[in-house]
Structure 1
């Protein structure tokens, strides 16, 4: 392959991810897919429907990803969530911060991008602050704190941290074969739980669960299969075209928001190039905007008062710091990372949910105190 062909393929990867993210935004807007909303429904109203939708999406992408591993198309250790370091402390602390913050900010990064497509100016402020704090945690002041504390508390494993690799190393067998079994079992369990109750079979929930899961899975395929080069013509190294991490990536919406701000600020720098994460952010907003325009539901919305503003600013800051520290958000770790069955992702998801529950309890306490 020539360098020009690799450049053309990179452009195709970016367009594919943009269109898939656009579809994600449209589905999320129509189905009200939201992880924070799902947890809030359970805690505040005992309504499990949106959590069933989230589990359905997780089941779809988990089965699909591990089928691709079994087919030899992709490998979990080459993803953004792979590697031999189990960063349990980063996932635990970062996930809890992110979960608490997304409650204060009225939703995670993906939900605020969806809201922005509907004209919500609060979401714009949240995204700007989240992106700035994420950028600081990637390279700035809070990055130093992160590197000197929680990032040091990690366990070095003999191989990749995903469950199929660990099981294969401990009990024998090939990782693809184990991934087929473990991924199918875990994914089927999620699907069974999601579809067991009647609300889980509602048309809107099926659209959100299957649709979102299929989109995330398709991005895995685009990044890990379509955009994969065994040997890049310029570097002569293995390459995953279009990704900022130079590893296989799916959807995530904290670091990409920071990277989008960086790309805008340093646009004239020829060394700055668009990545799959940045185009996914743009595509998600576009998809939500199109649905809102079609439904004539687009309207401008701002903060209610200073207390509302302060709460959202604090939440956005916590999300930016927590999302980078945990190496993902409710979508990055919650769907993309979880589908790899990585230990760090499992801890991050549990911590995000725990942080969200704590945040909801805190808001309820505030309301009761004010009353």
Structure 2
């Protein structure tokens, strides 16, 4: 497929310096750093990623945000919090560092809901662990960055601010190719919507939708659906929620490689080569109930973090009261209205995987279908 690049951030309400930091951070994390998960983190693994930094300047915070967008793995246990990705900031003044991160608006609402810990020497204390079970933890440490060493069960990545300057030439655009393909998942419509909101791991029932998805992967259709997903209005202005939906598709696709590495033995070759050489066997592995379940939950955990970063909030008690006081079409209208509020967007799906099955089970179908479509999207983007 032809590659598509887009200066998508120019349509958001951010200044040139902030936009450049975001583009730099994405290129740095995806293209310069070695993979945070090395050769992959399997669902049964007890390994977690630990990133240690020594700065809270704006560029480093943009890099931290990018790590939060991609560092999601299928061994995370939302019940216990085990195997979270930990991001440590080494600083002499932890409170000041925390306040600066809270003031950094481009982490959105993430810091309000994730686990926060402090480390003084080897003593660790937790000050915040909200009810929304996120797979990211922030840690503020008085230890020096050089005192951190890798140990069993940890993939350690040290990022020093003095080592990242001028390491790449910034390309002020995103490669949106895979994101455009992810966007196609949400155009399938009835073939997914009409499926019952139960037995999501029964992958055979998605066969019609998957065939329709593959059939529609034509260049002109992909471009049309992507462009229509965020058209400017009559005044030439863009709806912020629509642009964030496009970003959501891009961020989702950024994590496909780590998800596939979790279930594929790459044997020193790339994920793409594995797909090209043995697509059917990889689909067989993906369709195993134990694999598709954990990958779908991993996708929802990633989505939770992404939505918080993009400024969404979980529903408030008042929101829940208003939604639960109506049914059917009226209930769906209220849910949609909250989600589309540009100034204060709230999303009913910002909850644990366990709660999603209860409050909005129909939307879990898309997590499962995305995972089933993932190999085809990966291959199509490379053609």
Larger RCO, structures 1/2 (Cα 8 Å, 6+ apart)? 1
Structure having the larger proportion of residues in strand:
2
| Higher helix content, 1 or 2 | 1
